[in-house]
Amino acid sequence: MPSQIRQAYGINDITFGSIVGNGAGQTIAIIDAYSDPTIATDLHAFDQQFGIPDPPSFKRVAQDGTTNYPPVDPAASLSGGNDWESETALDVE
């Protein structure tokens, strides 16, 4: 549950001066290897599951600033779900 994660890692206590470090009104960039073509729908499903409003914007950008995304993790079909797509989903959620 997101509230348990925030408490366990002390995220509730993060501040930047007088700004609460909860991500509200902030741009958050996450850099991961390979591509996760379903990340936007994965994030929406996560938000729905936990009653979190969808972010005001979610933009997926390739390393060169375009939509020329890298391929998906080639090890995905061999790893039984232990792949970069799963890691990206965890990072974004």
Number of domains in the chain: 1
Looking at the DSSP bridge assignments, the partners of residue 19 are: 16
Q: Assess if residue 52 is contained within a domain.
A: yes
d(CA 3, CA 12) in angstroms, rounded, equals: 9
Q: Assess if residue 93 is contained within a domain.
A: no
Q: Assess if residue 11 is contained within a domain.
A: yes
Other beta carbons less than 10 A from residue 85's beta carbon: 19
Q: Assess if residue 56 is contained within a domain.
A: yes
pTM: 0.74
Helix or strand holding residue 20 (H, E)? strand 19-20
Q: Assess if residue 73 is contained within a domain.
A: yes
Q: Assess if residue 16 is contained within a domain.
A: yes
Q: Assess if residue 18 is contained within a domain.
A: yes
pLDDT for the residue 80: 66
Q: Assess if residue 17 is contained within a domain.
A: yes
d(CA 34, CA 75) in angstroms, rounded, equals: 11
d(CA 35, CA 27) in angstroms, rounded, equals: 20
Residue numbers of the domain that contains 56 = 2-88
Block means of pLDDT (10 residues each) for the chain, 93 residues, are: 83 87 82 89 93 89 90 75 81 86
d(CA 68, CA 48) in angstroms, rounded, equals: 29
